Structure 1
């Protein structure tokens, strides 16, 4: 029998890369293979802005046919909540209205579609043009960052303010013991606490992991925080934004 600390070494679970990138529908439809890759960066989740051409509602899911100026694709949202908020919001997502979608790419029978994590109506039509500019800007930034890494110019400091944004993430200033934010994902305990800390942060870049450590230091140790972050990421509730140290919730968009 192996004594404690001896025997088969534990394999550290490799953290799945998570990011969210604004794209056009054509970029998705032109994918050769399973995954969308920009430069050398594999895209985990996408954001699109488009027109709802049709809506098909069933007891378990809602299927949207989405269209932008570059193409058409289906988006599927599985029913996970019957809250009045979700019902009211979804009632405004009708045919011939614009929406913003965040989701992950799926392929079924050689046909690509989006598994929708969040979909919201677009009221200001200027958002359509803004999204196209974001697509161009993000693609250019990814290429720029990769060139810097290839040239050895990319800093390894986790506090580095990535060139995706000029904003510096500020630590969460709230009282973690008195949070009352609604929880619609069935979370509890440390998962609920850390999810709400991330959700309440309003910085465009997301909240830095160090700020999460600081906000929970009186209640949760760092090892537990790391595990919760991995679990929430695996469940698709949060994702890393500008680098592997900044986090946002998936319903931010």
Structure 2
């Protein structure tokens, strides 16, 4: 349905026609009722819709890490990265799923684009899936926290690792386990972990978050805590048991 604006300009749909205003001119265009799509275009569209759905599922799993500082375009950027894993090459009939797709593109994905974790915690985490189906992180030394993050002696810092798991029988429903490690100010902090065994076929994604807080302020304070401008969260591992 077309609408008449306060400037007496007509804009909208009239049957098969679309009326719009551009640079002071009224433009009338026909709109395709049933646009033709190639087989490849239709397949790509299905892949992207699936990627968007899984993006929301993954983002929802890590919501506890994002409450204080979610970048407004996280879901869209995440869907774009996932689409690379779900894209089905020409000639392949089977559709990839969360459990069969190659999601290696997720490694290093920053959920808060304007406040990346990589420069703050410049260390690789050697995650590995072991024979019994558990996730293992061999001991790794995290360097002392940048003094700029801890301007006062009573400022504290911790590295949080959240392991999200999706069982094939539960679809988009994720289970999460959180590990927290207090980081030292003047010396490296050695961290390691091992989870309980996961059933075969389980998809695992691990996100790391840097938390900063002060004894005189609540977490989320604009000066001494995570906020909408400071909330570094990065995906550090993904794999299938």
TM-score by length of 1: 0.25
Structure with the largest fraction of helix? 1
Larger RCO of the pair (alpha carbons < 8 Å, separation 6+): 2
TM-score by length of 2: 0.26
Structure with the largest fraction of strand? 2
